[in-house]
Chain A
Amino acid sequence: MIEAHLSLLLVVLPLLAAPVIAILPNGRLPWAVSTLVSFAVFAMACLQLINVSTGNVISYELGGWAPPWGIEYRIDAANALVALIVAAIAAVTLPYALYSVEKEIPQKQLSLFYSAFMLCLTGLLGITQTGDIFNLFVFLEISSLSTYALISLGSKRQALTAAYQYLIMGTIGATFFLIGVGLLYAMTGTLNMLDLAERLPALTEHRTVQTGFAFIMVGFALKLALFPLHLWLPNAYTYAPSVITVFLAATATKVAVYVMLRVMFSVFGFSFIEGSPTDEIFLLLCVAGILLMSFYAIYQQDSKRLLAYSSVAQIGYMMLGLGFGSVLGVTATLVHLFNHALMKGALFMAIGAIIYRIGSSNIDTMAGLGKRMPWTFAAIIIGGLSLIGVPGTAGFISKWYLVLAAMEQQNWLIIGVILIGSLLAVIYVWKLIEALYFKPANETAHANVNEAPLMLLIPTWILVIANIYFGLNTELTVGTAEQAVKLLLPSAY
């Protein structure tokens, strides 16, 4: 009974929890309820992935209305993998949130904070579940609006301008998406993705369809912060509360990449993409993004901003896979979605633990704290190694598949870019490590700084261990990704 409604419950549970949490008294109760909800959602996402991992597809009709008239939730391996990323990161972030949020968010806003967090989770999970392109827009806006509110809760006043900037850019992106959907609807008369996929091939030469595709691509490029549409991201990540930075960095952009993948390969189809200049444009922007943003990262004085620029560069790696438009390329994208969520989650959590102790994310202020906070420091080292792509970590697997995809197309330039990008990553990760370990600590200001509390360390280390585990055992990541690609690119097999 429950099993059949799993796909819907995954979205509805956090949606119903949000208003309940909003009316709970401020204190630890809102945190406890949202943590329980996130654990339940995580369990459901695992079950869902097991259900589809054999290659079958779940189709859920909302309210019993048959698709394409009713809204359909359509889950295959690709959705289930991304839903698992979102649910897992939420389930790890919320235990971490307790202390960190109590320190950074005023007491009287706690229940509203967790309520907005649940709405954000609802939106992101909804995007991954739905098979209806307009429904996707609604979930996109649910997640975006709650994200703007969450970012604005950061303790510095720049958080407000960062949230405002993101609101303007995010709304333009979402509206572009809406225009694209409108044009497709005008041509096909349907909003169901599967139905669209059946009707579009006959219309690929039509200018309206091509314009609609372009609008959707640009809209989501804004949402996923593809260079050069990334301008909102560094400020938003830098000034948001630590917990929100962890959650956004590990989920929001990943979900947007997933939508791009879905629209490109499931809705428009492989032959449409091949006939359009999309892949060349993506490759060019990704190469520029990887190199420029890694350079930017090196020159940052703020650790969160450094990692934010590194995130923009890493999004370049994810989109590279899409740009190749090959089986290996898309596999690399899906694998990197998962792995990047693990490494950035771990790194931002470790930085958050330092911020919890000293209240600043400035690299100079952090000097010498590596010896005082050995476990946090070790987490940064392993997370950093994974970011660089050292063998034995999850990051290596992603880069390995990317390089394989580039070799398959004999694109030596891209291989060079991936290697240079990794070298630049060594430099900016080293910058953090040097400051934390080799520079003398400020004895007067940080005399009493010691290791972060266990409630912060345990979630961080769960992600750190996951980084190593998924670097050695690729059954879940690569296996599911390959399964997903079979359904996304049936013509390539």
Chain B
Amino acid sequence: MMDWILGHYNYWLVIIIMMAGFYTVISQGNLIKKIAGLNIFQVSVFMLYISVSNVKGGAAPIIESDVSLYSNPLPHVLILTAIVVGVATTSLGLALVVRIKEAYGTIEEDDIHNQDQSL
């Protein structure tokens, strides 16, 4: 049992980070904190991919004459793409927050909601 728990430590880490990020997105009213939470949530998925790519006893995926077992390089490439997507999402989200701050004078969800309701 203990071996099973410790043997899957990478997945536990992923789940903890994932839930921390997801909870932040849901619970926080501050728009910047929401974006931060979203980022943490995405990073956990990157870690899931990267940890899956590791092959036990495998070397770094660079062709060498005396190595026969390599780790899988493909997930790294996939995640490189996903990181770019994440950066774009974050920057667009932050740009929207700047515009929201200009339009409403606040970045707290409740205040924004109240301002829209009072119209």
- In the bound assembly, the distance between CA atoms of A447 and B72 in angstroms comes to 70
> How many whole Å from A391's CB to the nearest CB in chain B?
42
Given contacts A161-B112, A179-B45, contact A185 B34 (CB under 8 A): no
The answer on a CB contact under 8 Å between B92 and A148 is yes
Tell whether A175 pairs with B41 under 8 Å between CB atoms, given A141-B85, A158-B116. Answer: yes
A456 contacts partner chain B, Cβ-Cβ < 8 Å: no
Q: Chain A's interface: helix, strand, loop or mixed, by majority? A: helix
Asked whether B100 lies within 8 Å of A172 as measured between CB atoms, the reply is no
Is A185 touching B75 in the complex (CB atoms < 8 A)?
Answer: yes
The size bracket of the interface on B is 20 to 34
The number of residues on chain A lying at the interface, defined by a beta carbon within 8 Å of a beta carbon of chain B, is: 27
Check: A163 CB closer than 8 A to any chain B CB.
yes
Instruction: Name B's interface SS.
Output: helix
Say whether A179 contacts B25, CB under 8 Å.
Answer: no
Q: Are B99 and A178 in contact (CB under 8 A)?
A: no
Q: Which residues of B contact A172 (CB under 8 A)?
A: 22, 25, 38, 41
| Residues of A182-222 whose CB lies within 8 A of B | 182, 185-186, 189, 191
Is B97 among interface residues, defined by CB-CB distance under 8 A? yes
B52 surroundings in chain A (CB, below 8 A)? 182, 185-186
Q: CB-nearest residue of chain B relative to A152? A: B96
B66 to chain A, nearest CB (A): 25
Interface string of B1-33 (1 = CB under 8 A from A): 000000000000000000000100100000100
Flag if B48 contacts A160 (CB, 8 Å).
no
7 extra A-B contacts, CB within 8 A, seeds A141-B89, A172-B22, A172-B25: A141-B88, A160-B103, A168-B34, A171-B42, A171-B89, A172-B41, A182-B52
- B contact set with A: CB distance below 8 Å: 22, 25, 31, 34, 38, 41-42, 45, 48-49, 52, 72, 75, 78, 81-82, 85, 88-89, 92-93, 96-97, 99-100, 103-104, 112, 116
Residues in chain A within 8 A of chain B (CB atoms): 134, 137-138, 141, 145, 148-149, 152, 157-158, 160-161, 163-164, 167-168, 171-172, 174-175, 178-179, 182, 185-186, 189, 191
